[in-house]
Structure 1
Amino acid sequence: MCRGLESLPTLCLEWAKELRAHFGNIRHKQELCHFHRTSKQMMASDEPLKWRESFQDLLSNKHGLCAFSAFLVSEYSAENMAFYLACEDYINTKSSSKLPAKARKIYDEFIGSEAPREVNLDHETKNVTKKNLEHPTHSCFDLARSKIYSLMEKDCYPRFLKSAAYKDLSRQLAG
């Protein structure tokens, strides 16, 4: 399901949402079972063990990113990864003329008061980010992005490493 790195975020999030819709609200292990089967042939047996080394190692690995994204969907916090990846895309935007529209779209989707996928940010961070939109630069989401990254690293990542899905995947690939 998770093919090319360039389309990985969208594919993984869509796939994880489909899994949740298909299986309903079931345990993490069951939601990630398809990922286990299809990825077993594609990844090295020690790959999931490397994801333990750091959160950045997990995110920089396409299978790790896919597994973690699916986990976040199962935890009902997929908006955090979607926001982080949208910011990464924004930072990598070559044309500065595209920044204002992209910035507005990210703000409206994840930060604004009526945001459909609102991320959990404090009032001050939201205000700083809103002010940054007046003159969008590649760094206008840096504060919000770092807060969400930190939230995932300190909260979601440890839960992922303790999850039955991660443990099963590590065990299956090692054995």
Structure 2
Amino acid sequence: MHVGPEEADQPPSMSSHDAAPPAAPSRNPCCLCWCCCCSCSWNEERRRAWRVSRENKLQPLPSCEACATPSPEEVRSWAQSFDKLMHSPAGRSVFREFLRTEYSEENMLFWLACEELKAEANQHVVDEKARLIYEDYVSILSPKEVSLDSRVREGINKKMQEPSAHTFDDAQLQIYTLMHRDSYPRFLSSPTYRALLLRGSSQSSSEA
């Protein structure tokens, strides 16, 4: 028995730490799982279409950030505080590239997706984006799962029954703090950031 696409698009059952509900003994548990663990061809096609849908619907990093060129003053300001870095489109882009080298890019992607969600007023769109964020960054089945403590995770599970633009606020703050404490100091001492500083210094000298 296969679950129809309409039922498959519903948010996961919300229990502690995303635990899946036990399947009925008389049914094939994998084909009842909304997370598409079944290897049958129907689920394989649905899973492939789902990935494409998520990639098209949720674009956390606007193209303007990727092409922004920071001034030497702006680059130097990133060392003053993490807030200055995160408030700079170019800073976020450079920091995201650094996180990619540390295999933690999902932290920035999650933070940006939460910012995008908070700016949304249409409840139908909020529901859809909240579901996508959950699937991509909160579900333990996702390869891009971010590190959240059990209290925050359980809070999200409850809020996902009726998602709002602020469903992930606590989780976003936790990931922001994690990036600030762990990744930001390494970014400031990284070759990536030092190269930007040197380029800025050279540019200032040539203009003088």
TM-score normalised over the length of structure 1: 0.75
Does residue 174 of structure 1 match 2:201? Answer: yes
Divergent runs of 4+, >4 A: 10-13
What corresponds to 1:3 in structure 2? none
Corresponding residue for 2:103? 76
Deviation at 1:82, TM superposition (A): 0.5
Aligned position for 1:62: 89
Is structure 2 residue 66 aligned with structure 1 residue 9?
Answer: no
Q: 1:99 is matched with which residue?
A: 126
Determine helix, strand or coil for the equivalent of 2:98.
helix
| Counterparts of 1:8 and 1:95, CA distance in 2 | 18
Q: Secondary structure at the match of 1:46?
A: helix
Deviations 1:94-138 (A, max 9, x none): 212221121111011101121231001112211111111111112
> Could you say what the CA RMSD is over the residues aligned between the two structures, in angstroms?
2.1
1:51 corresponds to 2:78:
yes
- If asked which structure has higher relative contact order (CA below 8 Å, sep 6+), I would say 1
**What CA distance in whole angstroms lies between the structure 1 residues aligned with 2:135 and 2:183?**
24
Once residues 135 and 166 of structure 1 are traced to their aligned partners in structure 2, the CA distance between those partners, rounded to angstroms, is 42
CA distance in 2, matches of 1:167, 1:150: 23
Cα deviation digits, residues 72-96 of structure 1 (max 9, x gap): 0011000000000010000011212
| Paired position in structure 2 for 1:118 | 145
Q: How far off its partner does 1:11 sit?
A: 4.6
8 Å CA contact 1:133–1:140 kept in 2: the answer is yes
TM-score by length of 2: 0.64
Q: Which has the larger radius of gyration?
A: 2
Does structure 1 residue 130 correspond to structure 2 residue 157? yes
1:77/1:12 Cα in 2 relative to 1: closer, same or farther (>3 Å)?
A: farther
Q: Is the 8 A contact 2:60 2:112 kept in 1?
A: no
Determine if contact 2:60/2:116 at 8 Å carries over to the other structure. Answer: no
Amino acid at match of 2:108: M
* One-letter code aligned to 1:159: R
Show structure 2 runs of 5+ residues with no match: 1-58, 203-208
Cα shift at 1:149: 0.5
| Residues paired across the two proteins, number | 144
Paired letter, 2:184: Y
Go from structure 1 to structure 2 and tell me whether the alpha carbon gap of 1:8 and 1:173 turns closer, same or farther (over 3 Å shift).
Answer: farther
User: How far did 1:53 drift?
Assistant: 1.5
Structure number having the greater helix percentage: 1
Task: Report the CA distance shift for 1:8/1:124 in structure 2 as closer, same or farther (over 3 A).
Answer: closer
Q: Comparing 71-80 with 117-126, which one deviates more in the overlay? A: 117-126
Q: 1:173 to 1:160 in 2, by over 3 A?
A: same
Match of 1:85 in 2: 112
Alpha-carbon deviations, 1:124-155, whole Å to 9, x = none?
Answer: 21111111111111211011100000000111
